Amino acid sequence: MTQQPLLRVERLKTYYPTRSGIFSRSSGSVKAVDGVSFTLHEGETVGLVGESGCGKSTIGRTILRLEKAQEGRILFQDEDITDHSQRKLRRVRSNMQIIFQDPYASLNPKLRIYDALAEPLIVHKRVSRSEVQREVERLLHLVGLPRSAGQRLPHEFSGGQRQRIGIARAIAFRPKLIVCDEPVSALDVSIQAQIIGLLQDLQDELKLTYLFISHGMGAVKQISSRIAVMYLGKIVEIAPSEALLRKPKHPYTRLLLNAYPPPDPTLRAEKKLIVHGDVPSPANPPDGCRFHTRCPFAQERCRKEEPQLTEGLHAAACHYPLD
């Protein structure tokens, strides 16, 4: 792992305006991402995990500049790309790709797989026209699909096969960073393991770096070298995977881990955490610690003062971290 991060996100905020009334007047904003900072080093996988609606997919899309940040900075290879024009982004984006959750929705149903993979290579002049066929066949081979797959349409493939095609498209430009936006959540468990294995093999072979986004710990803990836990637009804990799985510091992290019991029962011996209530609205998050409305350990300080993410390898935003 290099000392200089491949990606550095600093105090990132991405808000969506809300409107109401007959004239659709602005009535506030949904704080999807609210002051998030983290780094991603070349060759590592950071898992970003949290419940649906916590802002994790918005982070991925904002990093790729598919969404615009209201505040903060995104530095890729030490270059600030936060306010890059579309012309400047064209140069950077070949090194930053995404794998979507729904592989079928991200493929043109009327386009053969060969054409879907060949078109961006031709448009962006990554290879000469005489080499396109060889390159497409190489991509299909890398993701475990036969050469004949190129002549078929997306509906002729299973969900797992379509996700392999999505992965082939993501690696076509030989990027440095791939945002994996819940790439296995729509697949059967047995297929999930195959896709995660494929991603790990490609990471080793192509020297890839992943931001792996998921709503549960099941897939994240299999592939991640570090795990960041999100709640209501903020990272509440980030640590090396083994440390976080063995001894979480934030009550919300323990809640997520309780939903995915480890195969080794010695990893967690503490009692189950009982949590009540629903997740508050990101349009109107509570004062203080955003988890205090559901946390069984909350005290008066938690209701008034927002905890900050601590320094160090194992960081947590909690006034009273778990022992």
Q: Over 50: is that where the pLDDT of 195 sits? A: yes
Q: Over 70: is that where the pLDDT of 305 sits? A: yes
Q: What is the pLDDT of residues 227-275, one digit of tens each?
A: 999 999 999 999 999 999 999 999 999 999 987 765 555 555 455 666 7
Give CA–CA dist 152/114, Å, rounded.
Answer: 8
pLDDT value, residue 102: 81
Cβ atoms of residues 315 and 238 within 8 Å: yes
Domain contains 8: no
Mean of pLDDT values over 279-305: 94
Domain contains 18: no
Domain contains 158: yes
Task: List the domain range (segments joined by +) for residue 132.
Answer: 106-172
pLDDT value, residue 126: 80
Environment class of 313 (CB within 10 Å of its CB; exposed 0-12, middle 13-18, buried 19+): exposed
Q: What is the pLDDT of residues 135-171, one digit of tens each?
A: 999 999 999 999 999 999 999 999 999 999 999 999 9
Domain contains 226: no
At 121, the amino acid letter reads L
pLDDT value, residue 105: 82
Domain contains 222: no
- Quote the pTM value: 0.91
Written as six digits, the tokens of 152 are 């078929």
Domain contains 140: yes
Total of domains in the chain = 1
More confident site: 58 or 323: 58
What's the mean per-residue pLDDT of the chain?
91
